[in-house]
Structure 1
Amino acid sequence: MEYHFVSNDTTLNNASSYFFISGFIISKIQYIPIALVSSALNLISLLFYLIGYSLWFIASHFYPGQAKKNQEWYEFAQFKEQYLYAAALGLIATTISMMAIFSPIMLVLSGWLFFGSNIIWTIGEYNKLNNPPSSEENFSKDRQNAYVSYALSMSVIGFITAASTTAAFFIPVITIPLLIITTIICIGVGSLALEYWLESKFGDYQPDISMDESYKQMSNNLGKKIHLEPNPTPEPYHGTKPLHSAPHDVKIKEPFSDPQMDLSSHTCKSQH
């Protein structure tokens, strides 16, 4: 069985995350070769898982609603309902795992239930990636994309665990080599899952900007609108003087007069 973190940062979800990671660490310590200590640690690990799934189940009721579009395969339910289904399956799987103390066959059933829980959880995170909730102001698609990759990696580990448990139960002779192979694979996939989780948890992602916020930000960057004052047209000129001409005196010269050339004053006489 593998733990996973829920993505919404509420008080209940944060508390469930601590119980999940505590149960995961304890579940790895239980493999020490001391039967009594191993059994006690296994029981404590399951108890932490039980508390973690219970808190997640309660927190799922407080997620905001989502408009149901039914356009894609992953939208068969709101992601809050998908989280609710995943948490419920996790609770059932944990309870059955506790019953495996008295009946080992229950490990097979619980393994597949844990895998089913992880699958629904992964679908819910993918649904959330494609339908970002408006209630989360700091939502980042890049961060959510890393978280979906983490959830998918954990689902792969869940499938390997369930398949190997089933094979080992029905074919006991392959238990040891199967355990070695699955352990190596799970360590590799688990390292990849841890990298995705660290990236989604501590990566430097900027929140996505909604259309309204983008419009406000653009308006603030552009500043106030520029108002152009109309240029008044000058009124028609009605004065008596030429427009834009400086006043000046005009002197009229007298006609040039030459006494010798003035023939009008002489009388023409006929000579004989």
Structure 2
Amino acid sequence: MPPSSPPPETATCTTCTFADDFSNYWTAILYFRARNGTYIRVPQKQNLGFEQANGGMTVYYIPGYLPNSKVTAFAPGFRMLIGNPNYRTMKEAMQFRQLTYTCLQNILTRTGETLDMPTKPCAAGIMSNVRFPTCWDGKNLDTPDHMSHVAYPVMGMFETNAPCPASHPVKIPQLFYEVIWDTTSFNKKELWPEDGSQPFVWSQGDKTGFGNHGDYVFGWKGDALQKAMDTNCDRCPQLRSQSLAEGNKCAKARMVREDIDGWLDSIPGQPMEENHH
């Protein structure tokens, strides 16, 4: 979708609880690989407080944790990507230390984040965490690599009001995805590979977890997001909202009738990568 087609002008509905948010949020799909080499899609699991929602992605816009933290909302046409789907090593993944996994012991677990996929069964599923950069160059709504126009703080963290680099002086909201994958059906170790390695694979063929990545296309109507950032609100009563049931109605009809949740001989469109060094 070109920048000339902003989501608020082309979308007819939104799945978000804030009714003026027509942004696009995306991550890869997770698969389980059985011992016989077949695959099945891992379903998402709803986060706490969103049990009636379809899907398991929770999106946060964080204005800052310290008093007087000022952020500028994204501009119409803005988009960005974080992560590299082709990364397969810890050294590569260190470039994106803000992309992590949490092995959930229960729905409230928020400690023990790792850069690679959990190597043991997780009692309540796996949560992938995607934290986008919080500094913008103030000029480009996008760049050819979808990343160069944004950056992380030069030192410290966004949470502590760390300064932005001179090349990217505009502080933007901390955009944060929590995606919960319901891996609990696959927790029996006898289902895992005989060599004890973890069995989960991203849809781009990555079984290391280092290729975690997320995409974002801004799509809030008017100045709604800026108002929310200025008031540092949580549920933001000043914004238009809708029920989860209403959001669930916003779904695109299938264009191809195909069983997408059965066992597959291979990941759609991707050859499986056997060795990573």
Report the structure, 1 or 2, having the larger strand content: 2
Query: Shared fold (TM-score greater than 0.5)?
Result: no
Normalised to the residue count of structure 1, the TM-score between the two structures is 0.22
Report the structure, 1 or 2, having the larger helix content: 1
Which structure carries more relative contact order (alpha carbon 8 Å, separation 6+)? 2
Normalised to the residue count of structure 2, the TM-score between the two structures is 0.22
Which protein shows a greater Rg? 1
